Amino acid sequence: MSLTNCKICKSKTIFKFEKMVLKKYLVRYYCCPKCDFIQAELPYPLEEAYADAIVEKDTGVLFRNILLAEKADLILKKNFNCRAKFLDFAGGYGVLTRLMRDKGYNFKSYDRFCKNLFSQQFLANDFIDSNEKYELITALEIFEHLENPLATIGLLAQKAKAILFTTELIPENQDLKNWHYLSTDTGQHIVFYSSKTFEYLAQQLGFYYYTDQVSLHLFSKAKIKNLIFLKNNNKLIKAIQFLKLGINFVRFLPKAQFAINADSKLSE
């Protein structure tokens, strides 16, 4: 079987390169000349790549969640209704939901495949079927796993005013065959996006598109005025965390009480 059409814009794709995946499958990667999307043609059932929903080699999972929570906090405070409902799509162990709830946001988590460990009381198990609308949905390192990205991202677009997500953009001027994000030892990354892909997708779905040009992206139905996150501001985030550590030490009890109160109120 050969893939011929782009999963995003339906244009005819072009064979780009092939690479050994899971140490035993020769996978062919196809590129779309119109929107620059890259998709893998899988010679193996995708389930084989998912013995564990969160693969053992993913040592960056907590760091990513903490960093995204800080960035999301900045973005939400400046641009969105912080009292509204939020959802972390494919939220895994529920780490981001926990971190965002600790900051006072009404976040819930949805994940069909992974057991939630950190925010079990705040699951949105009926997410797919319900008519619930969200101020913003987060999707951390999810889009590169999607077998049918148009359907999934389209679903999120119906349910939220904005989507904040991470996935690494296809790098320019690099030998893609050796790009680490192909994740050939896990076999889980199967689709890849450029900023051109997301610009096309945002236009189709009625969003404005904002990006840090590396891995953090925002689709928003309203124009975003404060783009602080567009600066690759990890130093700024670290400074904020350092300051908060000091402040929270002083205010530890009231802060913890606030988090407990916020959660007990919402679970009633």
Q: How far is the CB of 116 from Zn ion (least distance, A)?
A: 34
Q: Which positions ≥6 away from 44 have C-beta within 8 Å?
A: 21, 22, 25, 187
Strands 162-166 vs 136-140: parallel, antiparallel or unpaired: parallel
Candidate segments 25-33, 81-89, 134-142, 224-232, binder of Zn ion by CB under 5 A: 25-33
Q: What angle do CA 156, 161, 163 make, to 5 degrees?
A: 50
Q: How far is the CB of 175 from Zn ion (least distance, A)?
A: 22
**Cα separation, 89 vs 68, whole angstroms:** 14
User: For residue 246, how far is the Cα from the chain centroid?
Assistant: 30
* 26 vs 151 by CB, closer to Zn ion: 151
Candidate segments 9-17, 46-54, 214-222, 225-233, binder of Zn ion by CB under 5 A: 9-17
By CB under 5 A, the count of residues binding Zn ion is 8
Candidate segments 1-9, 67-75, 135-143, 223-231, binder of Zn ion by CB under 5 A: 1-9
Residue 9, interface with Zn ion (CB under 5 A)? yes
Residue 6, interface with Zn ion (CB under 5 A)? yes
Of all residues in the chain, what percent are helix, strand and coil, respectively (each to 5)? 35, 20, 40
In this chain, which of 8, 140, 142, 202 binds Zn ion, going by CB under 5 A?
8
In this chain, which of 32, 140, 153, 190 binds Zn ion, going by CB under 5 A?
32
H or E element, residue 192: strand 191-192
108-140: string of b/e by CB count within 10 Å (b at 16+)?
A: bbbbeebebebbeebbbeebeeeeeebbbbbbb
* 11 vs 195 by CB, closer to Zn ion: 11
**Cα separation, 41 vs 72, whole angstroms:** 34
In this chain, which of 27, 35, 100, 202 binds Zn ion, going by CB under 5 A?
35
User: 96 near 144, Cβ under 8 Å?
Assistant: no
Candidate segments 36-44, 117-125, 165-173, 217-225, binder of Zn ion by CB under 5 A: 36-44
Residue 37, interface with Zn ion (CB under 5 A)? yes
User: 208 near 201, Cβ under 8 Å?
Assistant: no
Q: How far is the CB of 11 from Zn ion (least distance, A)?
A: 5
Site for Zn ion in 62-101 (CB under 5 A): none
Q: Which residues form the interface with Zn ion (CB under 5 A)?
A: 6, 8-9, 11, 32, 34-35, 37
